[in-house]
Structure 1
Amino acid sequence: MVKMIILRQYDPVICFSFSKRECEFLAMQMAKMDLNNDDEKINIETIFWSAMDMLSDDDKKLPQVSNMLPLLKRGIGVHHSGLLPILKEVIEILFQEGFIKCLFATETFSIGLNMPAKTVVFTNVRKFDGDKFRWLSSGEYIQMSGRAGRRGIDDRGICILMVDEKLEPSTAKLMLKGSADPLNSAFHLSYNMLLNQIRSEDGDPENLLRNSFYQFQADRAIPDLERQAKALEEERDSIIIEEEDSLENYYSLLQQYKALKKDIRDIVFSPKHCLPFLQPGRLVSIPCTKNDENSSSFSIKDEVSWGVIINFERVKGVSEEDANKRPEDASYTVDVLARCRVHKDEVAKKTVRILPLKEPGEAAVISISISQIDSLSSIRLIIPKDLLPLEARENTLKKVSEVLTRFSKEGMPLLDPEDDMKVQSSSYKKAARRIEALENLFEKHEIAKSPLIEQKLKVLHMKKELTAKVKSIKRTMRSSSVLAFKDELKARKRVLRRMGYITSDDVVELKGKVACEISSADELTLTELMFNGVLKDIKVEEMVSLLSCFVWQEKLREAQKPRDELELLFTQLQDTARKVAKVQLECKVQIDVENFVSSFRPDIMEAVYAWAKGSKFYEIMEMTPVFEGSLIRAIRRLEEVLQQLIQAAKSIGETDLEAKFEDAVAKIKRDIVFAASLYI
């Protein structure tokens, strides 16, 4: 790809990849390509070593520094957040000067830097967003492809997408021509902001929230919601039904009946009762998939289709004892041959609609959960061993149709839950008795014999749905019109009072003064550690190591385990964090206690301890698998936290702690980690 780009003089080119390691791997694959002449190589070497002159001799020997120059001299560069800051800056300068013809970069290169190229290549159009792999959004594509084409130099920019899996036209259109990502407020309340507002003489947290962009967005939706509610109310009031009270009573009985039927089905089709009867060849009824437009429509009896069981299996990762504890659909899947319609949507996902047996469609084997089974027949068919040929599947469904025709008058014989499946639970018997009582009520009900009962019930169901929509919209309007963060503000104030940061009259206490100064780490946990005497009783190096847990965010698979004394400190930190989280939970702040505790990570404790002890940077890089740039960024954030702690100690008159924090800053603020920027 790069050879073709260079041959057609489409360089410089930026190749976007979504992983730091992949950027380096792809650049190393280009080892045999040379895109620069001798004069350019001399200039690159001069610029490179002029920048590296500020580093010590030891730092100049770092693998990242020594490995990068040969690559740069050939006109190939790498740019990602794991690089040494000084290396990133050199690469940016060389790219601007035209000495780098091909740059492998992560998407961060497309944000905040004015670095256009003639061509942009996407090595992939799917990315992992921390939860799952997904297609690029339109906003992400626009941002990165926008680097293609230099104003005043190129007539046009070239964008190349490398796609190694099927990309549906609709997905491509959405990515290339879709609208920009919506701009939604990410405003959130923090204890630091709240305390500073309370401490300020003319501060008013409620006023601040009322004037936030978040509140503006919530309020802006109200007029539109009012219009929607009014239109729905008018539509609902226009529906007039004869004998509505009597019909409503019948409708209510039907809803109870359906709920009881579902309860019985859940009991009968629990794994312990139904697994012995899921043999291949058994006829099974399953609900037909409703059309989207009819998905919420009402019917007295749901339409079912008949199929044949082929096989069943436990979902991977679910143990035998676990299977009975979890919901059926989370434990087992059943393969059923049924009449279906297969459809592929815009995002290349396959959706399967189950159809009645007589409708035109394809005979397909589908996987369903046990909870989707409506009933099991006592009849079993002999099925072919090989169902891959379409003819074999069609012939099997013909046999099912013949059986249905044979039993059209008396109905398909079903397995009896009590006699055949031996369901003896008291909850089943109780539900069965209630169903029997309801069936008697249906027979005696005055409206049951009405010829248009089904149509009338559908109209009533529609009216009830409109009422539910109006209620939902009005609920949204009420929550939008009040202060968006009102409940959270009250809850967070409760936390601050409970923990002694403010008095009942909203006067900031000593603890509150400390938390006011801390904005780069979790203010409550850090303040609690400070007031518990943990930071006072330990050595400076140990304190710096402990504070690294507040600034390190990345997850490492093979992090070095900290030594015993550091591990003991980390346990104290976890205990403190757990107490803080539990108090917040008790005060009704939305928080996941275990997630909060696990957000403090000990991965770089050992490396930071060694750095504070005076070790060289190349020595600490041998101790940890993290990228150099990531570690430098963490230590710089650590220095920022220490500066805030100096101010906090000063504000409460703790001179010993202030001196200790200043000593910590002096120990970590040196060499390559705090090397001056080339742009200054």
Structure 2
Amino acid sequence: MANIFGIELDELDEVISQPERPKTFGLLPSTSVLKRPAVPIPSSFSLPTTRKSKFKAPRLKSVTLPTEAGCLHEVVLPVGVDRFKSLTPISQIPAKTYPFKLDPFQREAVLCIENDQSVLVSAHTSAGKTVVAEYAIARCLANKQRVIYTTPIKSLSNQKFREFTAEFKDVGLMTGDITINPEATLLIMTTEILRLMLYRGNEITRELGWVIFDEIHYMKEKERGVVWEESIILLSDRVRQVFLSATIPNARQFAEWVAFLHKLPCHVIYTDYRPTPLQHYVYPCGGDGIFLAVGKDREFNEKNFDEAVGVVRKAADNAKSDASMRGHRGGSQRAVTYCSKLIKLVMDNNLQPLIVFSFSKNDCQFYANEISKMEFTDDKEKAAIKLITSNALESLSAEDKKIPQITEMMPFLRRGIGVHHGGLLPILKELVEILFGEGYLKVLFATETFAMGLNMPARTVLFTATRKFDGQSFRHLSSGEYIQMSGRAGRRGKDDRGTVILMIDNTVSPDAAKQLLLGAPDPLNSAFTLSYNMVLNLLLVEDINPQIMLEKSFFQFQNYASIPILEQKIEKLDAEYKNIGISENINIEDLSNLLQLRRAIDDLERQKWQLSMKYKYSGPFLVPGRIVRVESDSGVDFGFAIVLNIRRSKKRDPDSGSVLSDSITADVLVRVAVENPEDFTNPIILDPEPLELSSFKPIDEFDIQVAEDEDEEERSPKVESKPHSSSKKRKRPWKSNANSKPQPAKKLKTSTHVAMATIARVPLDCLHDMSTVCLNFKTISGADPKNSSALVGKMAKLPPPLRLKFWEGIDRAKAKLNGEIPLLDPIADLGIKNNELKKCLENIHLLKARFADNPLSTRSDIDQLVHNHERRIVKFQELRMAHEELNKKESLLQLDELHSRKRVLRRLGFCAEDDVIHLKGRIACEISSGDELMLTELLLDGFFK
């Protein structure tokens, strides 16, 4: 590290340390004008060496096949295959016929199955994906092959078992709770059961012809998504697969992974066709009705939505007075009242059956209790419900029938009210599903698991909330989750439209609600994670090991897929980096030292003015017309501005009268670049809350021609200046502020931004470089500079072109003073006697001397050199980070974690150094829920005797 006059450059941060300022400045310009935090200056410009990994991103070819309107058909070819053999039309008798005409996407999927090729069907809920599954089953049975149908939850397995038993003869069911006919040709099971069978090498898996994965989009779940990946990887290449999914934007990427894994083509059939269109309504809590937000044509009704938001805000304001008295219970009671009102509205308009989605088991029960006195069934329906429930509970003993959960549920069911969530007994959940499917339940309160593939459509869906607990924290629903649940509205062949009602309150921002209503489906991203159970099971399997599982995971595949994009990014950055040329005769170390000194001086200047701008020092000088520089706390320079008024407000304690806070702000006339000047009114508060402030840009970021008006020439302000001890007429090469130099005539560079002089209110510590120049406002008609508040009002009424005329006065001041505006000296002019300020000024003087001692400081092109070097540093850091990211992506992810887990297993005696499984390891392999290592240790220690 270079040494300049006895101080190491890496010690400069200590010399220029400055206290933090509150984050109150709300301007958001582009990064091109950001001065802090500066990009660190690298010690060398050498890039990291890219590791050559044996794992490379697979290159697969996809072909789009011609199809009917309404669906998209693509096929992904495995590695090494460049040509696709056309599908053979169904010429013989099909494996299954239907009493209705198939939709285009169904016909395309059936054609793929007939040609013995795997297929992913991505379509909306209730679009008819089950037709494809039924055809695959029928073809397997016709060919005397076994077929497995997997589901994400037990409830869906039970429902499919009932449906397929009526359609096919030899059907079995395997869930964690029950096993029926496990030797059947068609087996319905949860995905966890299939994974366990594959790990154990079950004989059934050797006889498989097809596997159908229902609701494959749940592979993105953090807790259970890895189960789907393990199962797909472990399946034999000779087994064909059908994947049924909700709409996913990256369906082709998933098909590429399957084709890469099993070295066979995989088709993608995608459709966004919805047989029953949906209408989305918004119910503002506190309102009297619902507002149509999205119609059947998917057009957003902005007027209705804004009106609903207005009702929410009004209701929230009215509720503030009694919110503290009611507390949480009062809020819950109001929510119940709103929900009950909506249920009555739905019933009055004959829009039942209704599914009410809540994201808590307690909420489901709570809402049901609140409407328990409502009657939705007639005598005939009550008799049918009684008969079905008695038959369903017949297998239970008399004692079991008295279980509180059962006795409490029966009155609800007889009234046509149901509750469905994970906390119910399996027999009750199945009973509720049967009654709802038969149409006896008119209102069903359910959690989101009810939307996981269960074929239980309703006419109307109601959301009582937009936030849920995901196991870690409360968050808003994603648009994909909303699409999945709202898709339960609208019964195909029964309803001409489905109705969705979203309850919103003041906790939901309008943007979040709009995103929910119009958002796109969630992409299918891998949630692959290692577990001790997985590692131990893979060590037992002969043909695969944990490292191969990592290599074949969808997680790793998605990582590989981003490599080509990253390589293109590196190529582009490298070209940009090389284009920023610096002459070979320039010493890079001197240039870096110069840049670091300039940054240090800038920071010390900020610290100086932060100390100087305390109101007790600066107040007498902050008069209307004073020229100051406005700079945000993040280092964004908005150039020189004109002080109009100083505002001071004190917040006092209502009891003691003591001052709690003292806020001092300045109203300044500042020149900015905006896209829509008519959107801004004066004065504008510069804090993070007003959304429109994100449109502000510093004027120097754009080349903008300011139109001149000769008729207003005489209205331009005059300049008054007096000599001070701080006035200097020499150039300051250490100063990086472009505003300190005369600006040439500007030309229009962009049509999207225009120059505008606006009145802004800024915190006092955002004012810098208080100059000796003070504009004379006497020439403005009716403006009294002594009445600064009135001056702000007068200035706000001036036309924008006339406001910009004030900068002509600033430019004339620069011209008279050799191109620079002289600044007030904090000690000589402001009379500040502060040791910290004195030390700051001494450091500035010392660093300026070191700057002048640098051999490059006297060059005429020093500004351009420093600017290019800083751009070069920024580009180099971007290039270095891209290379590091590429190295990471070309390596095997989670490999270090795998090695760590193996070390733990060896130390605890679950496996040997050569990965041979011990008895403890075999026991742990059988534990699929809970902490397998801890439970195994407790079991062997005799804890459960």
Residues 59-93 of structure 1, C-alpha deviations (whole Å, 9 max, x = no match): 43444333322222222222222333322222211
Aligned to 1:557: none
Q: 1:117 to 1:373 in 2, by over 3 A?
A: same
1:107 matches 2:445 = no
Aligned to 1:142: 483
In structure 2, C-alpha distance between the alignment counterparts of 1:21 and 1:348, rounded to whole Å: 38
Residues 295-347 of structure 1, C-alpha deviations (whole Å, 9 max, x = no match): 9xxx9x8869889685799xxxxxxxxxxxxxxxxxx9978566698799xx9
1:12 matches 2:353 = yes
Contact 1:198 1:506 in 2 (8 A): yes
User: Taking every aligned residue pair, what percent have the same amino acid on both sides?
Assistant: 39
1:69 matches 2:410 = yes
Determine which of 460, 464, 470 is the counterpart of 2:879. Answer: 470
Normalised TM-score (structure 1) = 0.58
Aligned to 1:569: none
Aligned to 1:187: 528
In structure 2, C-alpha distance between the alignment counterparts of 1:278 and 1:527, rounded to whole Å: 73
Aligned to 2:931: 522
Aligned to 1:152: 493
Aligned to 1:411: 823
Contact 1:186 1:214 in 2 (8 A): yes
Contact 1:363 1:394 in 2 (8 A): no
In structure 2, C-alpha distance between the alignment counterparts of 1:278 and 1:3, rounded to whole Å: 67
In structure 1, C-alpha distance between the alignment counterparts of 2:427 and 2:507, rounded to whole Å: 40
Determine which of 887, 902, 912 is the counterpart of 1:493. Answer: 902
Aligned to 1:287: 631
In structure 2, C-alpha distance between the alignment counterparts of 1:224 and 1:152, rounded to whole Å: 46
In structure 1, C-alpha distance between the alignment counterparts of 2:574 and 2:692, rounded to whole Å: 38
Partner SS state of residue 160, structure 1: strand
Aligned to 2:430: 89
- 1:474-485 equivalence runs, <5 A: 474-485=883-894
Determine which of 361, 364, 374 is the counterpart of 1:23. Answer: 364
1:176 matches 2:517 = yes
Residue 415 of structure 1: how far off its partner (Å): 8.8
In structure 1, C-alpha distance between the alignment counterparts of 2:907 and 2:791, rounded to whole Å: 68
Residue type of the alignment partner of 2:876: T
Q: 1:507 to 1:125 in 2, by over 3 A?
A: closer
In structure 2, C-alpha distance between the alignment counterparts of 1:58 and 1:302, rounded to whole Å: 79
Contact 1:287 1:302 in 2 (8 A): yes
**Which deviates more from structure 2 when the two are superposed, residues 352-361 or residues 151-160?**
352-361
Determine which of 489, 492, 502 is the counterpart of 1:161. Answer: 502
In structure 2, C-alpha distance between the alignment counterparts of 1:89 and 1:492, rounded to whole Å: 40
In structure 2, C-alpha distance between the alignment counterparts of 1:176 and 1:530, rounded to whole Å: 51
Aligned to 1:575: none
Contact 1:282 1:376 in 2 (8 A): no
Aligned to 1:37: 378
Residues 91-133 of structure 1, C-alpha deviations (whole Å, 9 max, x = no match): 2111111111122222221113111011112223344445665
Q: 1:211 to 1:137 in 2, by over 3 A?
A: same
Determine which of 124, 127, 130 is the counterpart of 2:465. Answer: 124
1:239 matches 2:580 = yes
In structure 2, C-alpha distance between the alignment counterparts of 1:45 and 1:278, rounded to whole Å: 86
Residues 154-186 of structure 1, C-alpha deviations (whole Å, 9 max, x = no match): 222122222224977765553333321111111
**Which deviates more from structure 2 when the two are superposed, residues 223-232 or residues 251-260?**
251-260
Q: 1:129 to 1:205 in 2, by over 3 A?
A: closer
Q: 1:200 to 1:34 in 2, by over 3 A?
A: closer
Residue type of the alignment partner of 2:354: V
Residue type of the alignment partner of 2:823: G
In structure 2, C-alpha distance between the alignment counterparts of 1:470 and 1:462, rounded to whole Å: 12
In structure 2, C-alpha distance between the alignment counterparts of 1:510 and 1:71, rounded to whole Å: 51
In structure 1, C-alpha distance between the alignment counterparts of 2:554 and 2:883, rounded to whole Å: 22
Aligned to 2:867: 458
In structure 2, C-alpha distance between the alignment counterparts of 1:219 and 1:509, rounded to whole Å: 35
Residues 330-384 of structure 1, C-alpha deviations (whole Å, 9 max, x = no match): xx9978566698799xx99786688889964464577x9xxx878799xxxxxxx
Determine which of 502, 506, 516 is the counterpart of 2:915. Answer: 506
Residues 193-237 of structure 1, C-alpha deviations (whole Å, 9 max, x = no match): 223333444443222211111111111111121111112212222
Partner SS state of residue 82, structure 1: coil
Residues 509-528 of structure 1, C-alpha deviations (whole Å, 9 max, x = no match): 45434433333222333344
Kindly name which structure, 1 or 2, has the bigger radius of gyration based on alpha carbons: 2
Contact 1:288 1:304 in 2 (8 A): no
Residue 469 of structure 1: how far off its partner (Å): 1.9
RMSD over equivalenced CA pairs, Å: 5.1
Determine which of 401, 408, 413 is the counterpart of 1:60. Answer: 401
Residues 114-153 of structure 1, C-alpha deviations (whole Å, 9 max, x = no match): 1101111222334444566544322011101110111222
Aligned to 1:321: none
Q: 1:127 to 1:493 in 2, by over 3 A?
A: closer
Residues 452-507 of structure 1, C-alpha deviations (whole Å, 9 max, x = no match): 54444333333322222222222111111121122222222233334343343434
Residues 536-558 of structure 1, C-alpha deviations (whole Å, 9 max, x = no match): 4xxxxxx4xxxxxxxxxxxxxxx
In structure 1, C-alpha distance between the alignment counterparts of 2:401 and 2:615, rounded to whole Å: 70
Residue type of the alignment partner of 1:64: Q
Residues 426-477 of structure 1, C-alpha deviations (whole Å, 9 max, x = no match): xx97x98776543222223344355554444333333322222222222111
Residues 374-408 of structure 1, C-alpha deviations (whole Å, 9 max, x = no match): 8799xxxxxxxxxxxx968957999xxx9x999x9
Residue type of the alignment partner of 1:411: L
Contact 1:137 1:181 in 2 (8 A): yes
Residue type of the alignment partner of 2:434: I
In structure 2, C-alpha distance between the alignment counterparts of 1:492 and 1:70, rounded to whole Å: 52
Residue type of the alignment partner of 1:473: A
Contact 2:605 2:844 in 1 (8 A): no
In structure 1, C-alpha distance between the alignment counterparts of 2:388 and 2:356, rounded to whole Å: 23
Q: 1:249 to 1:176 in 2, by over 3 A?
A: farther
Contact 1:289 1:353 in 2 (8 A): no
In structure 2, C-alpha distance between the alignment counterparts of 1:144 and 1:393, rounded to whole Å: 58
The structure with the greater share of residues assigned to helix is 1
In structure 2, C-alpha distance between the alignment counterparts of 1:201 and 1:104, rounded to whole Å: 48
Contact 2:479 2:517 in 1 (8 A): yes
In structure 2, C-alpha distance between the alignment counterparts of 1:252 and 1:312, rounded to whole Å: 46
Contact 2:594 2:854 in 1 (8 A): no
Residue 17 of structure 1: how far off its partner (Å): 2.0
- 1:328-343 equivalence runs, <5 A: none
Aligned to 1:205: 546
- 1:392-471 equivalence runs, <5 A: 394=792, 411=823, 436-450=845-859, 453-471=862-880
Equivalenced residue count is: 485
Q: 1:501 to 1:76 in 2, by over 3 A?
A: closer
Residue type of the alignment partner of 1:42: A
In structure 2, C-alpha distance between the alignment counterparts of 1:435 and 1:181, rounded to whole Å: 54
Contact 1:287 1:304 in 2 (8 A): no
In structure 1, C-alpha distance between the alignment counterparts of 2:791 and 2:375, rounded to whole Å: 59
Q: 1:525 to 1:40 in 2, by over 3 A?
A: same
Residue 245 of structure 1: how far off its partner (Å): 3.1
